[in-house]
Amino acid sequence: MKPRYWRRATQELAARDPVLAELIRAAPTARLQRRSDPFRALARSIVGQQISVKAAAGVWQRLCGAVENVSPRHVAGLSADELRATGLSRQKAAYLCDLARHFEDRRLAPERWTRMDDEAVIAELIQVKGIGRWTAEMFLIFYLLRPDVLPVGDLGLRRAVSVHYSRGRAVSDARLQRIARAWVPWRSVATWYLWRSLDPIPVEY
């Protein structure tokens, strides 16, 4: 599923920001795509925390092999030892169990999120162990396809802004916010193109 707003967003961003205009022209057919369900998207983000992409992919494949389906019910049915046998740390195994319980007892109910603003969704998600603001922001961008998320703490975004707007110099939060004013209400889209400028393979969840 691709965002309905993508064409309008790219047109407006290209008209306002010459840096983004160039990045958008360089990837005329690229789109942010949603390819998962909410539980799997969040579970995969927990699995991938603080390890390499390759290592995370291996753990995820072993987790998929350990259960009939990576769903709240099936993950909640695994013991801590079974989860750790997939390569998860003790801490991440506990995080996945907590995530599964939040879905199972409806403390997280995805159908509500369409009626909630970004900050309300973030506030709900960070009640889960192992999910902080950055993970919640990635979920807003990649699963909920929210158009105007600016993950100020994301290292990839900061590096791309440094390269394209600051001649390689580090940028402060305040400067990043100032640059991003021109991107409203499409800051997620701008962020995605800036990420892509560093890595031509689009990230998907």
What is the C-alpha radius of gyration for the chain, rounded to an integer number of angstroms? 18
Count of helix runs (H) and strand runs (E) in the chain? 13, 0
Q: How far apart are CA 46 and CA 14, in angstroms?
A: 34
Mean pLDDT of 31-37: 82
Looking at the fold, whether 118 and 78 belong to one and the same domain comes out as: yes
Residues 6+ apart with CB under 8 A from 24: 10, 13, 14, 193
What is the domain count for the chain? 2
Q: Grade residue 204 by pLDDT with cuts at 50, 70 and 90.
A: low
Looking at the fold, whether 167 and 126 belong to one and the same domain comes out as: no
* Domain-embedded: residue 1: no
Instruction: Name the residue among 140, 90, 98, 138 with its Cα closest to residue 117.
Output: 140
Residue 145, pLDDT above cutoff 70? yes
Instruction: Name the residue among 142, 88, 153 with its Cα closest to residue 99.
Output: 88
Whether the upstream peptide bond of residue 151 has omega within 30° of 0, thus cis, is no
Q: How far apart are CA 161 and CA 169, in angstroms?
A: 9
- CATH number, position 130: 1.10.340.30
Domain that holds residue 163: 6-33+149-198
Mean pLDDT of 6-33: 93
Residue 205, pLDDT above cutoff 70? no
* Domain-embedded: residue 205: no
* pLDDT value for 202: 58
* Domain-embedded: residue 176: yes
* Domain-embedded: residue 203: no
* pLDDT value for 33: 82
Looking at the fold, whether 153 and 135 belong to one and the same domain comes out as: no
Residues 6+ apart with CB under 8 A from 182: 16, 17
Looking at the fold, whether 94 and 166 belong to one and the same domain comes out as: no
* Domain-embedded: residue 123: yes
pLDDT one-digit tens code per residue, 73-100: 999 999 889 999 999 999 999 999 999 9
* Domain-embedded: residue 204: no
* Domain-embedded: residue 125: yes
Looking at the fold, whether 10 and 94 belong to one and the same domain comes out as: no
